[in-house]
Structure 1
Amino acid sequence: MTEDGNDRAHATLQAWRFVQQMLADLTATLTEDAVDERELVEGLRVLARATALCTELSVEADPDRPHFFDMYSDTRMIGGPNPDGRYLLAMIRGDRGYRVTGTRGSTAYLGFQVLAGTGLTPRRMAGYLSDTELRSDSGSFAVVFAPSQPPPEVLDGAQWVAIPEDASAIVVREYIGDAATEAPASMTIDCVDDVALAPISDAAAAEAFTAMAWTIVKLVTLHRTIRPELLTQPNTLVTAQAAELGDADTTPDNLYMMGSFALAPDESLVLEFTPPATRYWNVTLENVWHECLEPRYRHSSVTNRAVAPDDAGVVRIAVGARDFGHGHWLDTGGRRRGWVILRWLDNPEPPQVRTSVRRAGAAA
């Protein structure tokens, strides 16, 4: 008999209580950090959405029978994703081999990232395959992710990507320049090893719940861990290499610029820049919790396919609650503060982005 009088699923019960305590602690954090009612409501909604996502990541996933699922939806855009893109994830193990087959489509970018780290070990990027290195035959591709190079009869012409012994996931990132004209990639994943189906153990369930709790914490506290000082230095942007934002959450072929906005209802934050010669870039707005601002229903992000430079080659983006004619308008929905994220694909030299705050009626 254990100390709490229960000898059944002791580790799982302890882990579940840990999840409950984490949810209570995060509720207190959100309550403390929100500056108004809207932020608190949105923060608690982010907490609920993070819990749902982390249930899929940690509890529902089966590395022996993996499948790709989309981490985001029209109503779940948490953790600072690119709303003009797609993020597929499949959980794996480092002692297995996996075959991914599919078609490339015609989107602007496709990349495969291997994450490593199990249990309480922080996740890290342990492998990466970009679309510039992906081999395809008339648009079709096959990639085997395995700890050692499989024999030719297993590879069957597929491209091999090595994974470490603590591999935990494959993340697929796809960026879309124009959803109306670009065809998304499609793919499936299968474990190449024959593994018998077995009941879940107390230890495995406990590990899943513990991982779930810590991943919720990571997603809900990004405003405290990723350049939090920028919230006190609003309406300016800084350059951030992918490594500065965490290599488990970014890829090395992206350059980022980020900053916070703090605006009155009659103000716009105007960004002016000459785009670098890169095949893809976009500008995205997020609330203070790094949740995209209803991107399917509100015009809060834009790609290089949807905005054109002026005769001098300059792009002007105006961030604000209303369109005052200061540039291509991105809608904050009237939020008092939030984040502005710029992504430049192919890691170009950081462009100069000028920022200014202009009031309604001011010249463009």
Structure 2
Amino acid sequence: MTTPNESTTAESTLAWRDLLDTLRDLDTNFLQGDRAVHDDRHLADGYRQLATTLGVAFDTYLFAEPSRPIFIELNTPFRRDRRWGGDNTDAFYRLAVVSPDRRYRISGNKGDAIYFAITGYNEPSPGAWSDKVVLHKHDSDMDVDADGNFSFEIGPVPDIAAIVTRDYQLDAESGRPVTWHIEALEEPEPIRHGDAETAAALRASAAWLKTMFMIIPLTIGVRAEEQQTEGHEIAGAANTMGPPYQVPDSNFGWSARDACYSFGSYDLADDEALVITHTPPTVRFWSMCVWNQFMANHSAGDGRTSVNIASAVPNSDGSVTIVVSAGECAHPNAVTTMDYPRGNLAFRWFLPDVVPAMPEVQVVKLADAPTSVS
């Protein structure tokens, strides 16, 4: 057993110092190389993301108790320290760390959610990101009574390490979030926060952080007119959207099993706008939001940085046109970049009947951008 006067050789001491070394070096991901950011706001966002993801890492690895689980806030439309990882202003995400050998009861009330679900993920090694969905239930799979209450049991679930809940609102500023509760059905294990356990948690936190900053900041690419004309077009060019795709069971990170996604980027001058038109399939919910290069949206109420199935006004043919710009635009589906000259874009479609068609994207002068639906 390690005593306090031997702390310089304790495993938790060494792991803590390794974590500090990791944090010290992670900013090179957005300061140097081909993913270096180019404006002071993204620079500041990089350091905010370091703080945010450190908090998530500690919630997930250092403070979690799988035999005494609780749901912690993972993303919310309002908390500025939980704007990360592909967030949006429509949804509340929560996370509970669980054990594959235990049984749990999950209960709650649906509130005003248009869609809600739980997804269980594996952990290939301590701190490694999930590469497989091992459990999934959305609201149609649950017995929800007339008052919106639900309750069900899960487990044991082989390989499960964490549960993520999703709660999508048509208007998060006025809607009632889903209430979630989780309880372990067997007696909890003795609390043991010793040297070995703490060291393992700190090392897992560092591993998770390193992977996160291998992903962010997202690249934007060059504008189409700046690309070379010879050979293939550069993948991920600015002011384009990628092909929509369905999330498979084998995936990377905490992706939504019921969702289709399309990701893109923008690089706009102050007098330019991006006009995006897509035709939503039959779907429970869809949204499009603006991110910074760290996959973070602004908090709800800061400015209109997203549109969804309820707030968007469709064209006469059922398509939806969205106008993205730094400045103001009169179009009913206009969203703002919050004065960021460059950033990223994300479409989500939940429970679509088909994979959506490719969104059409066009760069125009802001003065020429549409101001009404067609």
Please state which band the TM-score falls in when normalised by the shorter chain: 0.7 to 0.9
Over 3 Å counting, the alpha-carbon distance change for 1:318 and 1:245 in structure 2 is farther
Structure 1 residue 145 and structure 2 residue 154: aligned? yes
Unaligned runs of 5+ in 2: 223-233
Structure 1 residue 266 and structure 2 residue 274: aligned? no
Does the Cα contact within 8 Å between 1:125 and 1:247 map onto a contact in 2?
Answer: no
Paired amino acid for 1:207:
A
2:106 equivalent in structure 1? 100
2:355 equivalent in structure 1? 349
Q: Give the secondary structure class of the aligned counterpart of 1:260.
A: strand
Instruction: Give the C-alpha shift of residue 145 in structure 1.
Output: 1.7
Instruction: Give the C-alpha shift of residue 263 in structure 1.
Output: 0.5
Instruction: Give the C-alpha shift of residue 307 in structure 1.
Output: 1.2
Does the Cα contact within 8 Å between 1:107 and 1:177 map onto a contact in 2?
Answer: yes
Does the Cα contact within 8 Å between 1:321 and 1:335 map onto a contact in 2?
Answer: yes
Q: How big is each residue's C-alpha offset from its partner over 1:180-230, in whole Å with a ceiling of 9 and x where there is no partner?
A: 664322121111111243331222111111121122223333236799898
1:251 equivalent in structure 2? 256
1:160 equivalent in structure 2? none
Structure 1 residue 67 and structure 2 residue 70: aligned? yes
1:155 equivalent in structure 2? none
Does the Cα contact within 8 Å between 1:79 and 1:222 map onto a contact in 2?
Answer: no
Task: Give 1:38-53 correspondences, 5 Å limit.
Answer: 38-53=41-56
Which range is displaced more, 234-243 or 118-127? 118-127
Does the Cα contact within 8 Å between 1:283 and 1:340 map onto a contact in 2?
Answer: yes
Q: 1:133 aligns with which of 129, 141, 144?
A: 141
Does the Cα contact within 8 Å between 1:260 and 1:340 map onto a contact in 2?
Answer: yes
Q: How big is each residue's C-alpha offset from its partner over 1:64-111, in whole Å with a ceiling of 9 and x where there is no partner?
A: 111111112421211112320010111111122111121223311111
Q: 1:54 aligns with which of 38, 53, 57?
A: 57
Task: Give 1:214-253 correspondences, 5 Å limit.
Answer: 214-223=207-216, 233-238=237-242, 239-243=244-248, 246-253=251-258
Q: Distance in 2 between matches of 1:18 and 1:170?
A: 28
Q: Distance in 1 between matches of 2:218 and 2:304?
A: 27
Does the Cα contact within 8 Å between 1:72 and 1:86 map onto a contact in 2?
Answer: yes
Q: Distance in 1 between matches of 2:258 and 2:201?
A: 31
Q: Distance in 2 between matches of 1:227 and 1:6?
A: 49
2:205 equivalent in structure 1? 212
CA-atom RMSD in angstroms: 2.6
Paired amino acid for 1:48:
A
How many aligned residue pairs are there? 346
Instruction: Give the C-alpha shift of residue 275 in structure 1.
Output: 1.9
Structure 1 residue 309 and structure 2 residue 314: aligned? yes
Over 3 Å counting, the alpha-carbon distance change for 1:42 and 1:179 in structure 2 is closer
Q: Distance in 2 between matches of 1:203 and 1:7?
A: 12
Q: Distance in 2 between matches of 1:142 and 1:9?
A: 47
1:21 equivalent in structure 2? 21
Q: How big is each residue's C-alpha offset from its partner over 1:308-358, in whole Å with a ceiling of 9 and x where there is no partner?
A: 112232211111101234562111011121111000111432223110011
Does the Cα contact within 8 Å between 1:9 and 1:202 map onto a contact in 2?
Answer: no
- TM-score (normalised: structure 2): 0.85
Does the Cα contact within 8 Å between 1:86 and 1:174 map onto a contact in 2?
Answer: yes
Structure 1 residue 89 and structure 2 residue 81: aligned? no
Does the Cα contact within 8 Å between 1:235 and 1:262 map onto a contact in 2?
Answer: yes
Q: Distance in 1 between matches of 2:64 and 2:135?
A: 21
Identity %: 27
Paired amino acid for 2:54:
T
Q: Distance in 1 between matches of 2:366 and 2:54?
A: 40
Paired amino acid for 1:99:
R
Q: Give the secondary structure class of the aligned counterpart of 1:93.
A: coil
1:335 equivalent in structure 2? 340
1:153 equivalent in structure 2? none
Q: Distance in 1 between matches of 2:219 and 2:254?
A: 11
1:159 equivalent in structure 2? none
Unaligned runs of 5+ in 1: 148-162
Instruction: Give the C-alpha shift of residue 240 in structure 1.
Output: 3.4
Paired amino acid for 2:135:
G
- TM-score (normalised: structure 1): 0.87
Task: Give 1:287-298 correspondences, 5 Å limit.
Answer: 287-298=292-303
Does the Cα contact within 8 Å between 2:265 and 2:342 map onto a contact in 1?
Answer: yes
Q: Distance in 1 between matches of 2:141 and 2:47?
A: 41
Instruction: Give the C-alpha shift of residue 231 in structure 1.
Output: 8.4
Structure 1 residue 177 and structure 2 residue 183: aligned? no
Instruction: Give the C-alpha shift of residue 36 in structure 1.
Output: 2.0
Does the Cα contact within 8 Å between 1:107 and 1:185 map onto a contact in 2?
Answer: yes
Q: Give the secondary structure class of the aligned counterpart of 1:305.
A: coil
2:38 equivalent in structure 1? 35
1:157 equivalent in structure 2? none
Does the Cα contact within 8 Å between 2:106 and 2:151 map onto a contact in 1?
Answer: yes
